Amino acid sequence: MKILSYKYDESLISNTFSFLRLPLDFNPYKLDCDWVITGVPCDITTSGRSGSKLAPSAIRQISSNLAWESCRWPWNFDIRQLLKIVDCGDLVFEIGNIEDLTDKLQIHAQQLLFSGKRMLSFGGDHYITLPLLRAHAQFFGTVSLLHFDAHTDAYICGNKYDHGTIFFHALHENLIDPDHSIQIGIRTTSNYSNKFIVLDMKQIYEHGIDYIVNYVGALLGSRPVYLTFDIDCLDPSVAPGTGTPVIGGLTSYSVLELLRGLRYLNIVGMDLVEVSPAYDYAQITALTAATIALEMLYIQASRSKMFRNF
Ligand SMILES: [Mn+2]
């Protein structure tokens, strides 16, 4: 019997489950790259249905279905030709220890930012955005917040630190500029403590996507923007796998149009939070999250393409 000689070819390997089958690197600080993806498997502070700690794996797994399209519609280029992106796996912290998570995530973010990288992080619940914002404000100064959500997360009721109070703290720690920050897709009570400008679902439906794009563009201008995307800004019919779903939200198409319309903003950091795979069906929420994450990176690539042309 003839034994076939086997030559290793990495194109034969497709089951590694990094995001978009991008290279994995567990020590990204010294690496030469533009964007680093970090999973933050934390659902310590969830008020409703927990389970978002499993989101990074779910997003990575389904993202392999998006990797085949080298010339992605409607961008018409391959992001991997324009941006060096690595996936550094998941942050390690003591289980259930919010102080430890806070410290480790902030240190990780500082090391990346001060070594010239930009971050796309996958929650986890929305609490992860607070230590990420602290690190970004340390590096960039006070930033503008571009916040997609069904909830303002600026509440002062409940626990001091949980996934619904983070922007109250971010405001009082001067991490974000409330006059040049915006919350989009809100459809729950926006209580008296909320100092942010809100575009709620009624306004979005009444005015349409183009109006929102122009409004946000004029408000944020060229300021450094931190983009945080809670998957529950989408309607539960298209993103059921989340901890605190609220009906009457955005469709996936309108979110994609909104994000693509905002590609001229100076977005310096990004996260996507609150996917809870246990409540997902047919991976629909994970697919939506992975696609939105990819679109966020395409926005960055289109900016670098824009600058290269001048
Ligand atoms: Mn929310």
Q: For residue range 225-248, list pLDDT tens digits in order.
A: 999 999 999 999 999 999 999 999
Distance 15 CA to ligand 1 centre (A): 31
Per-residue confidence (pLDDT) for residue 164, from 0 to 100: 83
Residue 133 CA to residue 135 CA, distance in Å, equals 5
Q: Is the pLDDT of residue 309 over 90?
A: no
User: Domains of the chain, with CATH numbers?
Assistant: 16-308 (3.40.800.10)
Q: Is the pLDDT of residue 12 over 80?
A: no
Structure token pair of residue 309: 């042309």
- Name the nearest CA neighbour of 194 among 164, 224, 215: 164
Distance 230 CA to ligand 1 centre (A): 5
Distance 186 CA to ligand 1 centre (A): 9
Q: In DSSP terms, which residues pair with 89 in a beta bridge? A: none
- Name the nearest CA neighbour of 65 among 15, 27, 30: 15
Distance 3 CA to ligand 1 centre (A): 57
* Residues whose beta carbons lie less than 5 angstroms from ion ligand 1: 149-151, 230, 232
Structure token pair of residue 275: 């996917």
Distance 234 CA to ligand 1 centre (A): 10
| This prediction's pTM | 0.93
- Name the nearest CA neighbour of 53 among 124, 157, 155, 147: 124
What does pLDDT average to over the chain?
A: 91
- Name the nearest CA neighbour of 149 among 106, 196, 102: 196
